[in-house]
Amino acid sequence: MVRRGIGGTVSLPPVLHFGTDGVRGKAYDELVPQDVARLAQAAAEVLAPAGPVVIGRDTRLSSPDFANALISGFSAAGVPTLDLGVAPTPAVAWAAARHHIPGAVVSASHNPWPDNGIKLFGPGGRKLDDEVQTGLEAVLADSKRRWAPHPTRRPLVADAAGMLSDYQNAVAATAEFDGRGLRVVADAAHGSASAALPGPLGAHGVELTVINADPDGRNINHQCGSTHPEAVARAVCEQGAELGITFDGDADRVLAVDHTGELVDGDQIIAICAVDRQNRGLLPGNTVVVTVMTNLGFHRAMSNRSINVVTTPVGDRHVWSALQDGEWGLGGEQSGHVIFPALANAGDGLVTALQLLEVIVRRKMTLRDLAAEAMAKMPQVLHNVATGPDPIDPDQLDSAIAAAEQALGTSGRVLVRPSGTEPVIRVMVEAETLEAARSVAAEVATAVGGPRRAIPTTRH
SS3 for 55?
A: strand
Beta bridge partners of 384: 426, 453
H-run or E-run covering 326: helix 316-326
Give the integer Cα–Cα distance in Å for 85 and 104.
11
Rounded to an integer, what is the distance from CA 3 to the centroid of its chain? 29
Q: Strand, helix or coil at 258?
A: coil
Is 109 known to be catalytic?
yes
Q: How many CA atoms lie within 13 A of 235 on its CB side?
A: 23
Using alpha carbons, select from 209, 217, 248, 204 the residue that is nearest to residue 109. 248
- CA-based diameter of the chain, in Å? 65
Tell me the torsion sign for CA atoms 58, 61, 65, 66.
negative
Q: Which of 63, 72, 109, 226 is catalytic?
A: 109
Annotate 412-451 with b (16+ C-beta within 10 A) or e (fewer): bbbbbeeeebbebbbbbbbbeebebbbebbbbbbebbbeb
C-alpha to C-alpha distance for 109 and 115, rounded to whole angstroms: 9
Neighbours of 120 (CB within 10 A): 26
Residue 344: helix, strand or coil by DSSP? coil
Query: Could you give the C-alpha distances from 101 to 117, 131, 163, 249, in angstroms and in order?
Result: 20, 19, 14, 24
CA-derived radius of gyration, the chain:
22
Rounded distance, CA 347 to CA 121, Å?
13
Q: Is 21 exposed, middle or buried (0-12, 13-18, 19+ CB in 10 A)?
A: buried
Closest Cα to residue 264, out of 237, 245, 292? 245
* DSSP class per residue in 160-212: -HHHHHHHHHHHHTT-----TT-EEEEE-TTSGGGGT-SHHHHTTT-EEEEES
Give the H or E element holding residue 370.
helix 367-374
Could you give the 3-state DSSP secondary structure of residue 265?
coil
- The residues carrying an active-site annotation are 109
